[in-house]
Amino acid sequence: MAHEIETSTVSVGDLRAYLSRPVAGGTSGMLLLPMVTGIGAQLREFADDIAGSGVTALSWDPWHGPSSDDTPREKLFEMMRALDDENSLDEARRLLDHMFADLGLARVGVIGWCLGGRLALILGGRDERLANVVAYHPTVPGTPAPNHTVDAVEHTGRITAPVMMLYPGADSLVPVESFTRLQDALQSREAGPSIVHVYPRAEHGFSDRARHGNEVNERAYAVSWPQVLDFIRVTTTA
């Protein structure tokens, strides 16, 4: 049964974030790290789905205002190429602090898509407070982008929380060798279970509605999202 939710755009210091939470409250939460679209309509839908399952969702705004609602994707991709790893991770940590200290949540996980999926894995390797890590088609290319200054594979191996990683078999940005390195890092861990999904013929970013003209992507998302919501609910329940 879906929970009634309330939504708002909030400020956390100088950061802007989208908050979606069950009206009835609760102590479970998820920090959302978007794909290049930022806090666009679909990211808000993701957040609302999570809140509807009974888990508070707070979404990071990587672009501090612009999103796919009002900005061409070409401009957003240009902004993405200038995104700084350490600054992004610092902003994510500040939102995580807010969730524990100010929203009063007891168990908080992180979920990211594409660029946010990569950052979720890194954050998971740095912050042991996290109750889970979910990485939807994380953008970890074979050759790191110039602004990828932090090693995502190394940090993936440090995560102690349960992890769910979802990989599209036809990912043109993340070769299977990179996926294998991430999977090996997960399986090298001494603590924390791993759930790895592989969707043959699905493309990078298959959760993005803009890619659902390809039926394979649409089906992959339809299969994966309910399982992600269950994983979130189970791992954030105190």
- Ordered structural domains, the chain, with CATH: 5-236 (3.40.50.1820)
Q: What is the pLDDT of residue 238?
A: 64
Q: What is the pLDDT of residue 1?
A: 65
Q: What is the pLDDT of residue 236?
A: 97
145-183 pLDDT tens trace: 999 999 999 999 999 999 999 999 999 999 999 999 999
Q: What is the pLDDT of residue 215?
A: 98
- What averages of pLDDT result for each successive group of 10 residues across the chain (238 residues)? 93 97 97 98 98 98 96 96 97 98 98 98 98 98 96 98 98 96 97 96 97 98 98 92
Q: What is the Cβ-side half-sphere exposure of residue 83, based on CA atoms within 13 angstroms? A: 27
* Cα dihedral 82, 84, 85, 89 in deg (nearest 10): -130
- Helix (H) or strand (E) segment spanning residue 93: helix 85-101
Cβ(171)–Cβ(203) below 8 Å: yes
DSSP state of 37: T
